[in-house]
Amino acid sequence: MKSFTYERANTAAEAVAAVAAMPGAKFIAGGTNLLDLMKLGIEAPVHLVDINRLGLDAIEPTEAGGLRIGAMVRNTDLAADARVRRDYAVLSRALLAGASGQLRNKATTGGNLLQRTRCAYFYNTDMPCNKRSPGSGCAAVGGLSHNHAVMGVSDACIATHPSDMAVALRALDATVEVISAKGSMRMIPIADFHRLPGDTPHLETNLQANEMVTAVILPRPVGGTHIYRKVRERASYAFANIAVAMIVREGKAARLALGGVAHKPWRVEAAEDAPAEGIADIVLAGARPTADNAYKLDLTRRTIAACLGDAS
Kindly tell me which of 94 and 207 has the beta carbon lying closer to other proteins. 94
Q: Cβ neighbours of residue 41 under 8 Å, at least 6 residues apart?
A: 1, 2, 125
Q: How far is the CB of 137 from other proteins (least distance, A)?
A: 12
Q: How far is the CB of 297 from other proteins (least distance, A)?
A: 10
CB 273 within 8 A of CB 263: no
Q: How far is the CB of 259 from other proteins (least distance, A)?
A: 14
Q: How far is the CB of 303 from other proteins (least distance, A)?
A: 6
CB 255 within 8 A of CB 226: no
User: Pairing between strand 25-28 and 47-50?
Assistant: parallel
Kindly tell me which of 214 and 241 has the beta carbon lying closer to other proteins. 241
Kindly tell me which of 229 and 264 has the beta carbon lying closer to other proteins. 229
Task: Give the residue from 228, 252, 225, 190 showing the smallest Cα distance to 90.
Answer: 228
Q: How far is the CB of 88 from other proteins (least distance, A)?
A: 24
**Integer angstrom CA distances of residue 307 from 6, 217, 230, 246:** 46, 26, 11, 7
| Residues engaged in binding other proteins (CB under 8 A) | 1-3, 41, 118, 120-121, 123-124, 126-127, 139, 142-144, 146, 229, 231-239, 241, 295, 298-299, 301-303, 305-306, 309
Q: How far is the CB of 91 from other proteins (least distance, A)?
A: 21
Q: How far is the CB of 158 from other proteins (least distance, A)?
A: 14
Kindly tell me which of 218 and 307 has the beta carbon lying closer to other proteins. 307
Rounded (5°) CA angle 274-262-283: 15
Kindly tell me which of 147 and 210 has the beta carbon lying closer to other proteins. 147
Alpha-carbon distance 302 to 68, whole Å? 34
Q: How far is the CB of 308 from other proteins (least distance, A)?
A: 10
CB 154 within 8 A of CB 197: yes
**Integer angstrom CA distances of residue 309 from 100, 251, 252, 300, 303:** 28, 9, 11, 14, 9
Kindly tell me which of 142 and 286 has the beta carbon lying closer to other proteins. 142
Kindly tell me which of 10 and 125 has the beta carbon lying closer to other proteins. 125
Kindly tell me which of 146 and 220 has the beta carbon lying closer to other proteins. 146
